[in-house]
Structure formats: structure tokens, C-alpha cells
Chain A
Amino acid sequence: MIEWLYLAAQAAALAMSAWFFVETARSQRVGRRHFVGVGVLEAVLLAQLVVGIAMVPGEAGGGKALFFSYLVTALLVPVAAAFWGSIDRSRWGIGTVAASGVVVAALLLRIHQIWEFQIHVG
């Protein structure tokens, strides 16, 4: 993992989450600008996946399948949440997508741990 890219992904996930929770408080329906926000997060996560594919197989440690399963899950969760949230008429539509940002942040934390302690060793 590239440290600044990991931090950028964390920042993107938490920023999206914070923004969408503000939208929840303002009772906004899920709209086009929110899909753009999800798209930005997805782009950073995709970059993270590309970097992972480039860097992880050459490392000495184990836990590589775990690394990619977490990363792919992190990629899928906001997309699934965006569709699941967009069909809601209440404020909790966007609130659901906001929660997915927290899930991504937690997954990224775990991905980073797997990289630090299991993959990037020796």
C-alpha cells in the first residue's frame, strides 16, 4: 500500500460520510450530486485496488486473499448502499449511504492492518 493513497482513501470515505450525514440532517433525498460523491470515493478505492494488485503479490507475507476480499467488499458497499438508499423517500435514504462511508473507513483500517502486519513483512 502507498501510505498517502491509503490516507486519501480514508479521507474520501470519512468526508463523504460527513457530507451525507449533514444531508441527512437537512432531509435531502438521494440525488445526482450524491452519486458523484460516491463515484469519487469509488475512484480512489479503485486506485487502491490497482496499487494493491501491483504491490501485494510481490510481498513476502501471507493474508493476501484476505486483503483483496476486504478491498473488494469496500468497493461494493457504497455502491450497494447508494442503490439501497436511493429508493427511500425519507432522510434515511442518504443516511444509509452516509453509514456506508463509515463501513468503508473501518474496512480500510483493517486492510491497512493486514498490509502492515501480515503482507508487508520481512
Chain B
Amino acid sequence: MSAEPQARAPRSLADGFGRLIVLVYVVFAVSAGARAGYQVATKFGDAPVSFTLSAVAAAIYLVAAVAIIRGAARTALAAVGIELVGVLAVGALSFADPGWFPEPSVWSHFGSGYGYVPLVLPVVGLVYLIKRRRSS
């Protein structure tokens, strides 16, 4: 989509509200990624499950951001879908079996350490992507 000439091209996924979503995804990819990288490098043994999951979350945020910027609607939908499943599964697991999470991951307790944005973000993202797909 981004390869088409701008003038008549249909609105790209990263236009409008998508622009705000991309900003949040990039911020989360960078902050979760930098933090997980630091944790894996310095103290991986303290909470291997948490830090690995944080790194996975950061990677998914990055994929979602790039997919929305490039207009890859299906990749974006897949990434955001996996993200929602991930935050729900890890969130539930962190309550069910806290022993696995001596230190929190991004998705622990449904993202409570990040103001629950990790839980809200994929829901908002899915609604946006599905709406855009219907309208095109």
C-alpha cells in the first residue's frame, strides 16, 4: 500500500488513528525491548520465564508497528491477535502460578506494571484493524 503514489492512494493503515497506535507500539517496543535486553544480559537467571516473555512481547510490538506502518494488514492483525492472547494467557498464568514470575514481565498481571496499557492496546488495535478492513 505504501508503494502507491500518495495523491490517490487509499488512506494507509498508519494514517489517522493508526498514527497514534503506531506511536504507542513503537514506544512499547523500544521500552520493553531495552528493558528485556538489559534484564536478559545482566540477570537472566533471576526470572528466565519473565524476561523471555518480555523479549517476546517487545518483538511482537515491533512486528505490529512495522506492519501497520507498511500497511501489511494481515500481518498486523496476526501480531495484534497474538499479543491479545499473550497478555491474557500470561496475565492469567501470573496469578495462577506466581512462582514462575519472581520478577514481573511486561504481560504479568495483565500489564499492571505498565498501567494496563498492554491489555488495552491489543483490544484497541484489533478494533481499529477490523474496522479498517471492513471499510476498505
Contact = CB atoms under 8 A, between A and B. Distances in A.
B13 interface: no
A26 to B, nearest CB: 16
Given A88-B15, A103-B27, 11 more contacts: A73-B30, A84-B19, A88-B19, A90-B15, A90-B17, A92-B18, A92-B20, A95-B19, A95-B20, A96-B19, A106-B115
Which of under 10, 10 to 19, 20 to 34, or 35 or more describes the interface residues of A? 10 to 19
Q: Is the interface of B mostly helix, strand, loop or mixed?
A: helix
Which of under 10, 10 to 19, 20 to 34, or 35 or more describes the interface residues of B? 10 to 19
The 6 A-B residue pairs whose C-beta atoms are closest, nearest first, are A90-B16, A96-B20, A96-B19, A92-B17, A92-B16, A88-B19
A90 B24 CA distance: 18
Interface string A78-91: 00110011001111
A69 B34 contact: yes
A77 B27 contact: yes
Interface string B1-36: 000000000000001111110111001001100100
A57 B102 CA distance: 30
